Amino acid sequence: MLKMPVVMLSSVTDLLRYIDENQLTSEFGGTLEYCHSDWIVLRTAIESFAVTVKEIAQLLQSFGTELAETELPDEADAIEFLLRSHTDKYRQLKEDIRSVMREGRHLLSNLEAAKAAKADGQEDKDIKQDWDTVQRLLAQLRDMEMAFDGFFEKHHLKLQQYLQLMRYEMSFHEVQPEEMGRAQIIILRGHQLATGHHYALALIVQRCNELRHHCDVLTTAIRAKRAALTRIRDLLLRLEEARRWCDEGAYLLANQLVDKFQSKEGAQGALQDIERLQEEKPVCLSQSPDVLSLEFEAILTPQLEVCVPKLSAMQRMIHNRQACLRKLADIQVRPVQLVAPRPEHSPRSPHSSSVCMYCLIPAWFHQLFICLCYLPRKCNYISFNKGISLTGASLSLSLSLCILLTVLCVFRHIIKELIETERIYVEELLSVLLGYRAEMDNPVLSNLLPSVLRSKKEVLFGNMPEIYKFHSRTFLQDLEGCLETPERVGACFLQRKEKFQVYERYCQNKPHSELLWRQCSASLFFQECQKKLEHKLGLDSYLLKPVQRLTKYQLLLKELLKHSAESGYISELQGALESMLDLLKSVNDSMHQIAITGYEGELSDLGRVLMQGSFSVWISHKRGPTRMKARFKPMQRHLFLHEHALLFCKRREEHGEGHDRTPFYSFKHCLRMSAVGITENVKGDVKKFELWYSGREEVYVVQAPTFQIKIAWLTEIRKILTNQQRLLQGFYFASTCLSASMLGVLFIPLVLYCGVM
């Protein structure tokens, strides 16, 4: 415990003996000037100012954290909105700082006034302490303001540069290959951004270099294209000029009548007409066709190359006619009397050997040949001269040649149709994959996509991407290679026979695809995609294209086989047609197989489906506890012949209407082919045959719809049984050899041992 003296005072005078009057206020008899209420007001103002400065510091810190943690958006509008909102907050905080600064300066001026009011330079320690406090808070506020201004200026500059970069990127990606001028402007803008010390300097320089490279590549390509187009235009002008000349020549040859050549004057007049035509011949025809082909080799297309043989053929025809007319004009002969064809054993006229029968006698064939070459433009030039008689040999030769040309024309026309429809088919597949399938992953259209379609892309489109890849990268190129050698089209199908199996998987998925389509066909998503693609038909029509294309192949192959003139390649066409028909049958069989229900096990373990169809079946069990006679009334069963088993199913129809009614097959019985035997003929009906199982323990009498179907099924069953027998024989032979070898290994040492003894 501290012991302190306590003095009891009774008056102010006694107080002055202990405390100096300079330390006491006037009410205690002192001279100290002090107002407690003024001190409270001042102290409250200083403390309030300090709290406000602290709050400003917290606001600046939180706003700085917000700026630092703000994620930059990917859209220019969002960045502009962010810039505006940040600028507004910055201006508001600046206004708050200025208000607090004014408050602090006002306090400081009051303290300075109070200090100046002290007489004779006396200084109050409290006033000095308060003045220092306010001065320190003001300095702290100024430092915070400067730091905040610097931080926001950097952040604002970064946002502005990011917005500039985004707009520059958008301009970069929006530049089309033909917009060279705009590309140069974007490159210039990039250089301006780079010289402005942009934070993404490396990226901007990279974009400028890429754009400059694209411009250079495009400029080179445009120049090359311009040069090629100029050459093509030159070639087309020459060909057009040559075509007009050939048309005139064809017209002239077709209208030169044979009866006028009987006189020398008529032959000379016809010769003069041809010579005038020759004088008007274009310069390009004066050169050899090989020279023309060599000059324009780089730009010649198969369509343009076809014109060269036509020009050569016309020149040969004119040359032959001219040579024959010259002979007639130089030889004095009596008028030729056109008579009926003479017998083959009659002697020839001495003058007939000097006249070219190709140019004079079969004049109608000239006209037909010209029409074949120039259809449809010159088909109106056919005007056969009545009264002309031809020898049997000439007529036969002309007719044979005309038939051959007609067959070749039809054959090539079918090849062109096959290639053109193949190109269209590939383009349609690509449009579906890009316009529908890829759009299912487009976030812009995700709100239009039905929930039932999400993650069902593989079900709706099946393996269409695999089909497109096969046709676009392989089969279309194979067919285009047949433009020059159309007889090789059959080999194309045979070479890619295994690749066509992709259609089997597509067709097996088709029922699931159709079911999914029916559930969401009215979706706005499909309507929007169809509108973008400008398709007149809906997606379901395009999903049917692969099935239709598979059917189209066998029809075109049948037409090619019908009009094939090259007997050496008929076997290839026949093989191609059979492979397509087998594929269609396999697809049809597999479509039925996937509708089998109730089978416990994997259908794939039974091997490939070889045959399927509906039959009437009688069953009888002749042995064992289940012995029974055959039913009088047959059962209707759908049979599936696999490589290793025969399935008996019952066809049923699902409930529904229209397209919703789809058949399925309820599994009833299975016969392993390793235990099956057949009796090909049953008395009383040529359409029946007998299947017996496990040594005739079970007998199935099967009635086919037609005799031909019965024969087809028996053929396939015999093949299976024969193959099984061969396998068993091979296994027995291998087992015998193995047993013999083992006995030999054991027996030889014994013999050797006995021999030694």
Edge-to-edge strands, sheet with 645-653: 596-597, 663-672, 645-653, 635-642, 609-621, 698-703, 688-693, 676-679
The pLDDT value given to residue 222: 83
Level-2 CATH architecture, domain 601-622+634-652+663-734: Roll (2.30)
pLDDT at 648: 92
- Amino acid symbol at 89: K
Segment 666-670 long-range contacts (CB within 8 Å, at least 24 positions apart): 666/597, 666/598, 667/596, 667/597, 667/598, 667/599, 668/637, 670/599, 670/645, 670/646
Residue percentage of the chain with pLDDT more than 70: 73
* Alpha carbons 757 and 752: distance in angstroms, whole number: 9
- Cis previous bond, 625, omega within 30: no
Give the class (CATH, top level) of 36-181.
mainly alpha
In the block, tokens 């023309």 appear at 292
DSSP code, position 306: T
Q: What is the distance between the alpha carbons of residues 171 and 163, in angstroms, rounded to a whole number? A: 12
Q: Burial letters for 372-409: b for 16+ Cβ neighbours within 10 Å, e otherwise?
A: bbbeeebeebeeeeeeeebbeeebebbeeeeeeeeeee
Only one residue has tokens 């042995």, namely 623
Reply yes or no on whether the pLDDT at 214 is more than 50: yes
User: What are the DSSP calls for 206-240, one per residue?
Assistant: HHHHHHHHHHHHHHHHHHHHHHHHHHHHHHHHHHH
Structure confidence at residue 481 (pLDDT): 86
Q: Which distant-in-sequence residues (6+ apart) come within 8 Å of 495 by Cβ?
A: 478
For 622-633, what is each residue's pLDDT tens digit? 655 444 455 567
Residue 500's contacts (CB-CB under 8 Å, 6 or more residues apart) are: 550, 579, 580, 583
Q: How many CA atoms lie within 13 A of 91 on its CB side?
A: 6
Confidence bin at 710 (pLDDT 50/70/90): very high
Confidence of residue 28 (pLDDT cuts 50, 70, 90): confident
Contact between 620 and 634 under an 8 Å Cβ cutoff? The reply is: no
Query: Which spans in 256-306 are helix H?
Result: 264-279, 289-295, 302-305
pLDDT of 363 reads: 43
For residue 702, the SS3 value is strand
- How many Å apart are CA 755 and CA 752, to the nearest integer? 5
CB 426 within 8 A of CB 468: yes
Whether 649 and 638 have beta carbons less than 8 Å apart is answered as yes
What are the structural domain ranges in the chain? 36-181, 235-329, 408-591, 601-622+634-652+663-734
Chain-centroid distance of CA 95 in Å reads 60
**Residue burial 571-598, b: 16+ Cβ < 10 Å; e: rest:** ebbebbbebbeebbebbebbbbbbbbee
pLDDT at 562 over 60: yes
Q: 174 falls in which pLDDT band (50, 70, 90)?
A: low
In 3D space, the residue among 272, 284, 333 whose CA is nearest the CA of residue 308 turns out to be: 284
727 vs 50, more confident: 50
Q: Where are the alpha helices (DSSP H) in 564-690?
A: 570-593
Closest Cα to residue 610, out of 591, 586, 630, 632? 586
Contact between residue 687 and residue 701 where contact means Cβ atoms under 8 Å apart: no
Which pair of structure tokens corresponds to residue 205? 């320089």
- Residue 450 CB neighbour total at 10 angstroms: 16
Q: Does the reported pTM lie above 0.75?
A: no
* Percent over 90 (pLDDT), the chain: 9
pLDDT in tens, 54-67: 888 888 888 888 88
Rg (CA), the chain: 52
Mean per-residue pLDDT, 135-164: 86
Q: Between the ranges 236-250, 273-287, 297-311, 694-708, where is the mean pLDDT highest?
A: 694-708
For 241-257, the pLDDT digits (tens) are 887 888 787 777 767 76
User: Which of 232, 436, 405 has the alpha carbon at shortest distance from 309?
Assistant: 405
CATH fit for domain 408-591, picks 3.40.50.1820, 3.40.920.10, 1.20.900.10, 2.60.40.1930: 1.20.900.10
**What pLDDT is stored for residue 1 in this prediction?**
63
CA angle 654, 658, 662 (to 5 degrees): 30
pLDDT band at 347 (very low <50, low <70, confident <90, very high): very low
Angle between helix axes 180-195 and 125-174 (nearest 10 degrees) is: 160
CA distance 720 to 671: 13
What is the pLDDT, as a whole number, of residue 248?
81
Average pLDDT value for the chain: 75
Closest CA to 549 of 500, 588, 512: 500
Instruction: Tell me the one-letter amino acid at 662.
Output: T
Q: Are 5 and 67 in contact (CB under 8 A)?
A: no
As given in the structure block, the two tokens for residue 522 are 């009215």
* Least confident residue range of 413-427, 527-541, 659-673: 659-673
Burial 723-754 (b: 16+ CB within 10 A, else e): eeeeeeeeeeeeeeeeeeeeeeeeeeeeeeee
Beta bridge pairs of residue 615: 637
Residue 736 pLDDT exceeds 60: no
Q: Using alpha carbons, list the distances in angstroms from residue 195 to 114, 158, 160, 170.
A: 57, 15, 15, 20
Ranked by mean pLDDT, which of 330-339, 382-391, 688-697 comes out on top? 688-697
Q: Which two tokens stand for residue 401?
A: 């040649």
Q: What is the tens place of the pLDDT at every residue in 444-456?
A: 888 888 888 888 8
